[in-house]
Amino acid sequence: MTQTPAPAGRAVLVTGGNRGIGLAIARSFAMAGDRVVVTTRSGEAPEGLQAVPCEVTDTASVDAAFAAAEDLLGGPVEILVANAGITKDQLLMRMSDAEFDDVVDTNLAGAFRCARRASKGMIRLRRGRMIFVSSVVGLYGSPGQANYAASKAALVGLARSISRELGGRGITANVVAPGFIDTDMTAALPEERRTAYLSSIPAGRFAAPEEVAAAVRFLASPEAAYITGAVLPVDGGLGMGH
């Protein structure tokens, strides 16, 4: 009797994988031999990667993206990297309900929608890794980012609750908390803020997206099977004491 060989590598889904940190994470898993699908809002795939369209603020879109990704991957998602995120900075007094809600809906509820859908396949497999891309400001705070910092801090509660709920089923849920990474998001910062941030980072530099990818891959590795509910900073020492 002939048996269909198991597909090589693990099945990975990275949200917001068309640019920045998400793209670096996706490329790093692909380079290591894993099967990777990224979500993009346009549905267009970055060079060398497979993509499915996904708007993380829309439950139906998230569910459809997982179904399409599972088709491409040939099975359930084993590693979810919830990376998609936005900022809408504003001082507290001036922050509109929409600015607050949009950021929380994308960064927190978007990650929740993906984790909920991913859990179905992971529970069936009795293994899985969820990695949530938070931020140093989630626990450090940041003026003008009440919405963003709140959404990123809440990912810790989300990951820790998932750890307690699904830990017995071989599923881990961890948070990576990047500091300042050279991407479109930080390129949008005014020059004086970039300089001020730089002077407060012990490492004395911003990081490359690949440095976040390395931490994510570690949390997804077999060596990290006993790490769950953790917050792993990749911030050059900026948030020490979290």
- Note whether 133 binds ligand NDP by CB under 6 A: yes
Residues 157-216 contacting ligand NDP, CB under 6 A: 178, 180-181, 183-186
Could you say whether residue 88 binds ligand NDP (CB under 6 A)? no
140 part of the active site: no
74: left (phi over 0), alpha (psi -120 to 50) or beta: left
Query: Binder to ligand NDP among 50, 57, 90, 221 (CB under 6 A)?
Result: 57
Number of Cβ within a 10 Å radius of residue 234: 21
Structure tokens at 17: 């994988």
Least distance between ligand NDP and beta carbon 224 (Å): 20
HSE (side-chain half, CA atoms, 13 Å) at 56: 28
Between 166 and 181, whose beta carbon lies closer to ligand NDP?
181
Q: Which of 135, 145, 163, 172 binds ligand NDP (CB under 6 A)?
A: 135
Distance CA 122, CA 220 (A): 13
Burial class (CB in 10 A: 0-12, 13-18, 19+), 96: exposed
Which residue, 26, 9, 30, is CA-closest to 17?
Answer: 26
Selecting among 140, 148, 197, 226, the annotated active-site residue is: 148
Residues lying near ligand NDP in the complex (CB under 6 A) are found at 16, 18-22, 41, 54-57, 83-86, 106, 133, 135, 178, 180-181, 183-186
By annotation, the residues acting in catalysis are 148
